[in-house]
Amino acid sequence: MADILQNVMDHAVAVARKAGEVVCEALSDDRKVMTKSSGVDLVTQTDQKVEKLIIQSVKEKFPQHRFIGEESVAAGEPSILTDDPTWIIDPIDGTTNFVHA
């Protein structure tokens, strides 16, 4: 069991580093800002891109894992929690600060 958990942790760290590169690159770009539930509930294309990157990468390595992503749920996907391993994803924690670089 410890080997499985270490494998998951190693992959989580690797995908977090890739996501960090995407976020850092986006800081030098024009950040398109959209809103979700209200004018202060912000989302950027980078939020969406990072969430997709994480989900795709984890699905490839661990196809039995499930996901509850902040941006996916905001876009209407159901938030379903089962007994399957489930990743809870907030792609950019602090989108408001990210928007203001």
What distance in Å separates the CA atoms of residue 90 and residue 20, rounded to the nearest whole number? 13
Q: How far apart, in whole angstroms, are the C-alpha atoms of residue 23 and residue 38?
A: 23
pLDDT at 86 (0 to 100): 97
Read off the pLDDT of residues 68-96 as tens digits, 9 standing for 90 and up: 999 999 999 999 999 999 999 999 999 99
**2-99 fold:** Fructose-1,6-Bisphosphatase; Chain A, domain 1 (3.30.540)
Three-state DSSP at 36 gives coil
Ligand-binding site membership of 92 (annotated)? yes
- Whether 46 has a pLDDT exceeding 80, the answer reads yes
Q: Please check the confidence at residue 30 and state whether its pLDDT lies above 80.
A: no
> How much is the pTM?
0.90
29 annotated ligand-binding residue: no
Angle at 25 between CA 22 and CA 27, to 5 degrees: 115
Sorted by sequence, the CB contacts under 8 Å of residue 37 that are 6+ apart come out as: 74
Strands 66-69 and 42-44: unpaired
70 is in an annotated binding site: yes
Q: What is the rounded average pLDDT of the residues 48-76? A: 96
Q: How many residues does the chain have?
A: 101
90 labelled as ligand-binding? yes
β-strand pairing of 66-69 with 86-89: parallel
